[in-house]
Protein backbone atom coordinates (compact mmCIF):
# COMPACT_ATOMS: atom_id res chain seq x y z
CA UNK A 1 0.00 0.00 0.00
CA UNK A 2 1.30 3.42 -0.97
CA UNK A 3 1.67 5.35 2.29
CA UNK A 4 1.14 8.65 0.46
CA UNK A 5 -2.47 7.55 0.02
CA UNK A 6 -3.44 5.90 3.32
CA UNK A 7 -7.17 6.04 2.56
CA UNK A 8 -8.78 4.32 -0.43
CA UNK A 9 -12.17 5.13 -1.96
CA UNK A 10 -14.09 3.27 -4.67
CA UNK A 11 -16.49 5.42 -6.72
CA UNK A 12 -18.97 3.75 -9.05
CA UNK A 13 -20.19 5.72 -12.04
CA UNK A 14 -17.25 8.05 -11.57
CA UNK A 15 -16.38 8.79 -15.20
CA UNK A 16 -18.41 12.00 -15.38
CA UNK A 17 -20.95 14.18 -13.65
CA UNK A 18 -21.48 13.89 -9.91
CA UNK A 19 -19.32 10.77 -9.67
CA UNK A 20 -16.36 12.49 -11.31
CA UNK A 21 -16.83 15.45 -9.00
CA UNK A 22 -16.75 13.21 -5.94
CA UNK A 23 -13.69 11.35 -7.21
CA UNK A 24 -11.85 14.61 -7.84
CA UNK A 25 -12.73 15.99 -4.41
CA UNK A 26 -11.55 12.87 -2.60
CA UNK A 27 -8.33 12.77 -4.61
CA UNK A 28 -7.74 16.42 -3.73
CA UNK A 29 -8.23 15.54 -0.08
CA UNK A 30 -5.47 12.93 -0.30
CA UNK A 31 -7.44 9.77 -0.97
CA UNK A 32 -6.40 7.15 -3.51
CA UNK A 33 -9.48 6.84 -5.69
CA UNK A 34 -10.51 3.81 -7.73
CA UNK A 35 -13.14 4.78 -10.30
CA UNK A 36 -15.39 2.06 -11.72
CA UNK A 37 -17.51 2.88 -14.77
CA UNK A 38 -18.61 1.14 -17.92
CA UNK A 39 -17.43 4.05 -20.10
CA UNK A 40 -14.22 2.83 -21.79
CA UNK A 41 -13.08 6.44 -22.30
CA UNK A 42 -13.19 7.38 -18.62
CA UNK A 43 -10.30 8.17 -16.30
CA UNK A 44 -9.46 8.40 -12.61
CA UNK A 45 -8.01 11.47 -10.88
CA UNK A 46 -4.23 11.74 -10.65
CA UNK A 47 -2.80 9.06 -8.40
CA UNK A 48 -5.86 6.86 -8.77
CA UNK A 49 -6.94 3.95 -10.93
CA UNK A 50 -9.71 3.51 -13.49
CA UNK A 51 -11.49 0.20 -13.99
CA UNK A 52 -13.97 -0.45 -16.78
CA UNK A 53 -16.77 -2.29 -15.00
CA UNK A 54 -20.50 -2.81 -15.29
CA UNK A 55 -21.39 -2.57 -11.60
CA UNK A 56 -24.76 -4.16 -12.24
CA UNK A 57 -23.03 -7.41 -13.20
CA UNK A 58 -22.15 -9.76 -10.35
CA UNK A 59 -19.09 -11.29 -12.00
CA UNK A 60 -17.67 -7.88 -12.94
CA UNK A 61 -18.16 -6.55 -9.42
CA UNK A 62 -16.42 -9.57 -7.92
CA UNK A 63 -13.44 -9.04 -10.23
CA UNK A 64 -13.35 -5.32 -9.40
CA UNK A 65 -13.26 -5.91 -5.66
CA UNK A 66 -10.66 -8.64 -5.98
CA UNK A 67 -8.48 -6.13 -7.81
CA UNK A 68 -8.92 -3.56 -5.02
CA UNK A 69 -7.96 -6.16 -2.43
CA UNK A 70 -4.88 -7.09 -4.46
CA UNK A 71 -3.68 -3.65 -5.57
CA UNK A 72 -4.83 -1.16 -2.93
CA UNK A 73 -5.10 -3.82 -0.19
CA UNK A 74 -7.76 -1.88 1.71
CA UNK A 75 -10.98 0.06 1.22
CA UNK A 76 -12.09 2.91 3.46
CA UNK A 77 -15.00 4.34 1.49
CA UNK A 78 -17.49 3.19 -1.12
CA UNK A 79 -19.46 5.76 -3.11
CA UNK A 80 -22.37 4.14 -4.98
CA UNK A 81 -23.17 6.69 -7.67
CA UNK A 82 -23.81 4.70 -10.86
CA UNK A 83 -27.18 5.40 -12.40
CA UNK A 84 -29.15 6.42 -15.47
CA UNK A 85 -32.73 7.20 -16.54
CA UNK A 86 -35.01 5.88 -19.24
CA UNK A 87 -37.90 8.30 -19.63
CA UNK A 88 -40.88 6.74 -21.36
CA UNK A 89 -44.62 6.44 -20.82
CA UNK A 90 -45.18 3.34 -18.71
CA UNK A 91 -47.13 1.71 -21.54
CA UNK A 92 -44.04 1.93 -23.74
CA UNK A 93 -41.51 0.90 -21.09
CA UNK A 94 -40.40 -2.71 -21.61
CA UNK A 95 -39.61 -5.06 -18.77
CA UNK A 96 -36.02 -5.22 -20.02
CA UNK A 97 -35.73 -1.42 -19.83
CA UNK A 98 -37.29 -1.34 -16.35
CA UNK A 99 -34.90 -4.05 -15.19
CA UNK A 100 -31.85 -2.32 -16.68
CA UNK A 101 -32.53 0.84 -14.67
CA UNK A 102 -33.17 -1.06 -11.43
CA UNK A 103 -30.05 -3.15 -11.98
CA UNK A 104 -27.68 -0.22 -12.48
CA UNK A 105 -29.28 2.21 -10.04
CA UNK A 106 -30.20 -0.12 -7.16
CA UNK A 107 -28.91 -3.67 -7.49
CA UNK A 108 -25.37 -2.41 -8.11
CA UNK A 109 -25.27 -1.01 -4.58
CA UNK A 110 -26.26 -4.38 -3.15
CA UNK A 111 -23.57 -6.09 -5.22
CA UNK A 112 -20.86 -3.57 -4.33
CA UNK A 113 -21.59 -3.51 -0.61
CA UNK A 114 -21.85 -7.29 -0.41
CA UNK A 115 -18.51 -7.69 -2.18
CA UNK A 116 -16.69 -4.99 -0.19
CA UNK A 117 -18.13 -5.75 3.26
CA UNK A 118 -15.02 -7.45 4.64
CA UNK A 119 -12.69 -4.69 3.42
CA UNK A 120 -14.97 -1.94 4.74
CA UNK A 121 -15.38 -3.63 8.14
CA UNK A 122 -11.62 -4.04 8.46
CA UNK A 123 -11.12 -0.32 7.78
CA UNK A 124 -14.11 0.83 9.89
CA UNK A 125 -15.16 2.49 6.68
CA UNK A 126 -18.18 4.28 5.25
CA UNK A 127 -20.62 3.96 2.36
CA UNK A 128 -22.39 6.83 0.62
CA UNK A 129 -25.22 6.11 -1.80
CA UNK A 130 -26.39 8.70 -4.32
CA UNK A 131 -30.17 8.66 -4.63
CA UNK A 132 -32.30 11.59 -5.85
CA UNK A 133 -35.10 13.89 -4.83
CA UNK A 134 -37.05 11.88 -7.41
CA UNK A 135 -37.40 9.30 -4.65
CA UNK A 136 -39.89 11.78 -3.13
CA UNK A 137 -41.32 13.75 -6.06
CA UNK A 138 -41.78 13.00 -9.75
CA UNK A 139 -42.27 14.19 -13.29
CA UNK A 140 -44.30 12.07 -15.71
CA UNK A 141 -42.79 8.96 -17.28
CA UNK A 142 -40.02 8.36 -14.73
CA UNK A 143 -41.33 5.26 -12.95
CA UNK A 144 -38.23 3.08 -13.20
CA UNK A 145 -35.89 5.85 -12.08
CA UNK A 146 -38.10 6.93 -9.17
CA UNK A 147 -38.51 3.33 -8.01
CA UNK A 148 -34.78 2.72 -8.14
CA UNK A 149 -33.96 5.85 -6.14
CA UNK A 150 -36.67 5.21 -3.58
CA UNK A 151 -35.30 1.71 -3.14
CA UNK A 152 -31.83 3.14 -2.67
CA UNK A 153 -32.99 5.37 0.20
CA UNK A 154 -34.51 2.34 1.95
CA UNK A 155 -31.53 0.12 1.21
CA UNK A 156 -29.28 2.73 2.80
CA UNK A 157 -30.89 2.58 6.22
CA UNK A 158 -31.15 -1.21 6.06
CA UNK A 159 -27.42 -1.45 5.36
CA UNK A 160 -26.63 1.01 8.15
CA UNK A 161 -28.34 -1.25 10.67
CA UNK A 162 -26.83 -4.46 9.30
CA UNK A 163 -23.25 -3.17 8.97
CA UNK A 164 -23.05 -0.98 12.05
CA UNK A 165 -21.14 -0.21 14.12
CA UNK A 166 -18.20 -1.18 11.88
CA UNK A 167 -19.44 0.56 8.75
CA UNK A 168 -21.54 3.72 8.46
CA UNK A 169 -23.95 4.06 5.53
CA UNK A 170 -25.59 7.31 4.44
CA UNK A 171 -27.48 8.61 1.43
CA UNK A 172 -27.34 11.88 -0.52
CA UNK A 173 -30.40 12.79 -2.59
CA UNK A 174 -29.44 15.54 -5.05
CA UNK A 175 -31.90 17.79 -6.78
CA UNK A 176 -31.01 19.65 -9.98
CA UNK A 177 -27.24 19.36 -10.34
CA UNK A 178 -25.87 20.84 -13.56
CA UNK A 179 -23.63 18.20 -15.12
CA UNK A 180 -24.34 18.78 -18.81
CA UNK A 181 -26.46 20.80 -21.17
CA UNK A 182 -27.00 24.56 -21.39
CA UNK A 183 -26.59 26.97 -18.51
CA UNK A 184 -29.90 27.32 -16.63
CA UNK A 185 -31.86 30.50 -17.14
CA UNK A 186 -32.04 33.22 -14.51
CA UNK A 187 -35.58 32.08 -13.71
CA UNK A 188 -34.42 28.49 -13.22
CA UNK A 189 -31.71 29.62 -10.84
CA UNK A 190 -34.01 31.85 -8.82
CA UNK A 191 -36.67 29.11 -8.60
CA UNK A 192 -34.31 27.52 -6.07
CA UNK A 193 -34.53 29.05 -2.57
CA UNK A 194 -30.72 28.89 -2.48
CA UNK A 195 -30.65 31.15 -5.55
CA UNK A 196 -28.99 28.80 -8.00
CA UNK A 197 -28.94 25.35 -9.56
CA UNK A 198 -26.57 22.88 -7.90
CA UNK A 199 -23.08 21.89 -8.98
CA UNK A 200 -21.24 18.57 -8.63
CA UNK A 201 -18.98 20.24 -6.05
CA UNK A 202 -22.01 20.67 -3.79
CA UNK A 203 -22.53 16.92 -3.64
CA UNK A 204 -18.83 16.13 -3.52
CA UNK A 205 -18.33 18.31 -0.44
CA UNK A 206 -21.03 16.46 1.48
CA UNK A 207 -19.80 13.05 0.32
CA UNK A 208 -16.28 13.91 1.51
CA UNK A 209 -17.68 14.87 4.92
CA UNK A 210 -19.76 11.69 5.20
CA UNK A 211 -16.78 9.40 4.59
CA UNK A 212 -14.53 11.41 6.91
CA UNK A 213 -13.94 11.19 10.67
CA UNK A 214 -16.07 14.20 11.59
CA UNK A 215 -19.27 12.36 10.61
CA UNK A 216 -18.67 9.43 12.94
CA UNK A 217 -22.05 9.76 14.67
CA UNK A 218 -24.04 9.88 11.40
CA UNK A 219 -25.41 6.70 9.86
CA UNK A 220 -28.63 5.59 8.20
CA UNK A 221 -29.41 9.19 7.21
CA UNK A 222 -30.63 10.75 3.98
CA UNK A 223 -29.39 14.24 3.07
CA UNK A 224 -31.50 16.14 0.53
CA UNK A 225 -29.29 18.58 -1.37
CA UNK A 226 -31.58 20.47 -3.72
CA UNK A 227 -31.27 24.16 -2.94
CA UNK A 228 -34.48 23.98 -0.92
CA UNK A 229 -36.83 23.04 -3.75
CA UNK A 230 -38.56 20.15 -1.97
CA UNK A 231 -39.37 22.54 0.91
CA UNK A 232 -40.93 25.15 -1.37
CA UNK A 233 -44.74 25.38 -1.45
CA UNK A 234 -45.97 25.94 -5.00
CA UNK A 235 -49.53 26.98 -5.83
CA UNK A 236 -51.11 27.51 -9.26
CA UNK A 237 -51.21 31.10 -10.43
Strand ranges (E), the chain:
8-12, 32-37, 49-52, 77-80, 126-130, 168-174, 222-225
Report the DSSP pairing between strands 32-37 and 126-130.
unpaired
Asked about 145 being catalytic, the answer comes back as: yes
| Residue from 226, 225, 93 nearest 147 by CA | 93
| Residue from 75, 91, 206 nearest 141 by CA | 91
Active-site pick, 31, 50, 110, 145? 145
Distance CA 31, CA 129 (A): 18
User: Which residues are the active-site residues?
Assistant: 145
Amino acid sequence: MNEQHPRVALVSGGAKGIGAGIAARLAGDGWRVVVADRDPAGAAPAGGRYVVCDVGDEVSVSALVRSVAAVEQRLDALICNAGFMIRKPIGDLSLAEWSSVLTTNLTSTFLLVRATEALLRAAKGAVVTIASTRARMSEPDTESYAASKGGLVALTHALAISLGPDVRVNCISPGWILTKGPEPTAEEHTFHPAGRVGRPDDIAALAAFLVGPESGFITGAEFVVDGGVTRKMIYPE
